[in-house]
Amino acid sequence: MSSHSKRPSLDSLTSRYRDSLSFTAADHGINEKEMNKPDFKELDLGSPVSPLLTTRVSINSNGNATATTTSSSSSSSSAGSVSGKNNNSTTTHLPKSNGLNTNNSGELSETSPSIPGSAPTNRILRPGHRRSVSAGPPLIYSGSSFSGATSFASSSVCSNPSTTNVLPSGNICPSGKILKTMASRTSNKTDTLGAGKGNYGHGSIMRGGGGGTKLGNTSDPEEVKRAGNEMYKRGNFVEALAFYDRAISISPENAAFRSNRAAALTAVGRLGEAVRECEEAVRLDHAYGRARQRLSSLYLRLGLPENARHHLCFPGQNPDQAELQKLQLLEKHINRCTDARKIGDWKSALRETDAAIAVGADSSPQLIACKAEALLKLHQIEDADSCLSNIPKLEQYTPFSQTKFFGMVAEAYALFVQAQVEMALGRFENAVSAAEKAGRIDYNNVEIAMVLNNVKMVARARTRGNDFFNAGRFAEACSAYGEGLRYDSSNSILYCNRAVCWSKLGLWEKSVEDCNQALKIQPNYIKALLRRAASNGKLGRWADAVRDYELLRKELPEDNEVAESLHNAQIALKKSRGVDVHSMKISGEVEEVSSLDTFKTAISSPGISVVHFKVAANEQCKEISPFINLLCVRYPSVHFFKVDVEESLAVAKAESIRMVPTFKIYKNGDKVKEMICPSHQSLEDSVRNYIL
């Protein structure tokens, strides 16, 4: 044997090393041509989500490394997955190297613990060949770049495998975090597939199974209830309610499930249903203290102290002192409110109602209705209507709808008040409907029967009066409206309608009187203000007419008819006082001034004069000119003039105009304000300021 045969050559060593790592298709029964196709797949590719494949490298007693692949999921349903069964494996022997750094750049330096129940699988590796991410560890690296030449299929030797682990295969990381390689972690939690309802990061994989509720089709009601409790603690009340519903469907006779459902219903504002659930819980377990506590609290919120006391002070349980104090205060305020209502002291009734609501009866339909009734009697009709709109839907309160309040069934009382408010606002059909509903609920109550009769009579009288008015029979219309006022002496609609009839008959004084009555009940009643202003004008009471029209101008600033009526009333008032009014006019256009003499005459006229100095071609002047026309209509008592400084140089020079647009305000011939390029708002504010 030659000398060189005794020492292996470099080529020989290289060949042996390559052979030890190479994959031989023939040895494994695979056609070489088939394997070299671009879409050829090895059997153990694995899913991006499940199972999660990791590669483990171990060192045997001879110092050789063995690479094996294990599945990190117990699932075997993914395409291409071979978890759950053993393969005939071929181990890869790595040459022993002393002092060699085995953690190459970009490699995964951790091992992943195998999941109990999943058998390890070995895969045959090929140097320099790398599959897609689903075929091996994911291509997620921290810091260093990947080096294929020094990575043995992303496998490496771990010096301390007990304290490190590997990123799972696929493109989903636990809890939505990108884990860094070379990092130690002592957690022994496993990767589990969540139910898909939790908020635990990217994809459907979460760490340790703590991010979601995995109930599946369990028939254990206690487990379902615990899931509901967890949702309730997190503030997810709708989800909690769904779990409690499911628990009740499994075990409908469980009082605790009913009580828990009541708590969730309370949290979402469905108090009526919560009361029903608590009542059912108490029926199932008569001594269930927690359900009785919930019931007493609910009845306090609903303004029913007697019901609350029954459950709060139930024999055998100690009442909560804070709740007991609330109960006592609620009873005190309701009793005071009842006394005030009996004697018609509506201010006191309103005050006590507000106090009862503040104590905790914030969801009481009858207390809110009582507040609306007090506001109605105090002639705050719009506030009463707004208050009624806040009453919870009465259909929710069927378990205790027969509870008495002010001697009426609680639900009927709310309808009783609604009927009166509707009638006061002229919604007579709605009033009749509400009163009839109240009568059907509490048909023996005298107050309800009286209101029902009055509402019907007023509605009938109003219809007859309208028919007579439309036929031009104004005297008969007056009589019909008067008949309705016999049944409701505080109906502003009927007063105003009769005032119109009096004016048609030329009875201006009676018209004013009825308007006064309507406005006493409803101070901002626009139709009554218009009718009274017109009637006062007919009577020559121009100061009163101007006052009403000025109020109307504030309410209806864009109404040109009101502006014209105000201007005419102001002229008539000045005439009655001997003031020269020849220059007072109303127009939607600003008067143009072209000579110095005309300008001096214009600004010397009594009252307020506003002069717009402009240039026809100037863009700012063009922009503000339509607004000046609007102000001319909006403030008819003010004189508006315009001067083109290019055409009236004498005026521009006399007034020292340097910039346009310039505005000057004069009062009785004296300049009181000058503005250059003002905004619309500042100009109008200045005009308004000088006419007040």
CATH of the domain at 682: 3.40.30.10
Provide the number of structural domains found in the chain. 1
What is residue 146's predicted lDDT score, i.e. its pLDDT? 37
Is the per-residue pLDDT at 195 higher than 60? no
Under DSSP, is residue 124 helix (H, G, I), strand (E, B) or coil? Answer: coil
Count other Cβ atoms within 10 Å, centred on residue 214. 14
> pLDDT digit string (tens) for 545-578?
999 999 998 888 778 788 888 888 888 888 888 7
Q: Which two tokens stand for residue 522?
A: 């409803």
Q: Which of 124-138, 617-631, 665-679 has the lowest mean pLDDT?
A: 124-138
**What is the arithmetic mean of pLDDT over 195-221?**
53
Q: E strand or H helix at 272, and its extent?
A: helix 271-284
3-state class percentages of the chain: helix first, strand second, coil last, to nearest 5? 50, 10, 40
Residues 6+ apart with CB under 8 A from 324: 312, 313
Is the per-residue pLDDT at 135 higher than 90? no
Nearest by Cα to 122 from 97, 91, 94? 91
Which domain does 667 fall in, by range? Answer: 591-691
What is residue 211's predicted lDDT score, i.e. its pLDDT? 44
Is the per-residue pLDDT at 470 higher than 90? yes
Residue 631 included in any domain: yes
pLDDT category of residue 395 using cuts at 50, 70 and 90: low
**What is the arithmetic mean of pLDDT over 540-544?**
93
Residue 156 included in any domain: no
Q: Which of 83-92, 407-416, 648-657 has the lowest mean pLDDT?
A: 83-92
What is residue 128's predicted lDDT score, i.e. its pLDDT? 42
Average confidence score pLDDT of the chain: 75
Is the per-residue pLDDT at 176 higher than 80? no
Is the per-residue pLDDT at 400 higher than 90? no
What is residue 588's predicted lDDT score, i.e. its pLDDT? 52
pLDDT category of residue 131 using cuts at 50, 70 and 90: very low
Greater model confidence, 404 or 114: 404
Give ∠ CA 285-319-229 in degrees, rounded to 5: 55
What is residue 129's predicted lDDT score, i.e. its pLDDT? 43
Q: Which two tokens stand for residue 292?
A: 């009785």
Residue 681 included in any domain: yes
As a whole-number percent, the residues of the chain with pLDDT over 70 amount to: 66
Under DSSP, is residue 681 helix (H, G, I), strand (E, B) or coil? Answer: helix
What is residue 214's predicted lDDT score, i.e. its pLDDT? 56
Under DSSP, is residue 302 helix (H, G, I), strand (E, B) or coil? Answer: coil
What is residue 76's predicted lDDT score, i.e. its pLDDT? 37
What is residue 233's predicted lDDT score, i.e. its pLDDT? 94
Residue 248 included in any domain: no
Q: E strand or H helix at 404, and its extent?
A: strand 404-405
What's the rounded Cα separation, in Å, for the pair 270 and 26?
73
Q: Please report, as a single letter, which amino acid is at residue 197.
A: K
Q: Which two tokens stand for residue 683?
A: 């100009």
List of long-range contacts for 290-296, beta carbons under 8 Å, 24+ apart: 290/259, 291/255, 291/258, 291/259, 291/262, 292/317, 293/320, 293/323, 294/259, 294/262, 294/263, 294/266, 296/323, 296/327
Is the per-residue pLDDT at 393 higher than 80? no
What is residue 481's predicted lDDT score, i.e. its pLDDT? 97
> pLDDT digit string (tens) for 252-270?
999 999 999 999 999 998 8
What is residue 18's predicted lDDT score, i.e. its pLDDT? 52
Highest mean pLDDT among 195-204, 504-513, 679-688: 504-513
> pLDDT digit string (tens) for 42-99?
444 444 344 444 444 444 444 444 444 444 443 333 334 333 444 444 444 444 444 4
Residue 40 included in any domain: no
Residue 656 included in any domain: yes
Give the chain's radius of gyration (CA, Å).
45
Q: Which of 56-70, 266-280, 516-530, 674-688 has the lowest mean pLDDT?
A: 56-70
Greater model confidence, 86 or 591: 591
Greater model confidence, 7 or 287: 287
Residue that is written with structure tokens 């029967």 in the block: 449
Is the per-residue pLDDT at 510 higher than 70? yes
Q: Which of 130-139, 271-280, 336-345, 636-645 has the lowest mean pLDDT?
A: 130-139
Helix axes 526-538, 560-576, angle to 10 degrees: 30
Residue 653 included in any domain: yes
What is residue 95's predicted lDDT score, i.e. its pLDDT? 42
Residue 394 included in any domain: no
**What is the arithmetic mean of pLDDT over 677-681?**
93
Is the per-residue pLDDT at 232 higher than 90? yes
pLDDT category of residue 217 using cuts at 50, 70 and 90: confident
Residue that is written with structure tokens 């023996």 in the block: 444
What's the rounded Cα separation, in Å, for the pair 100 and 5?
29
Going 502 to 507 to 510 to 512, the CA torsion angle's sign is positive
Residue 207 vs residues 70, 234, 507: alpha-carbon distances, Å: 19, 19, 88
Q: Which of 21-30, 285-294, 477-486, 666-675 has the lowest mean pLDDT?
A: 21-30
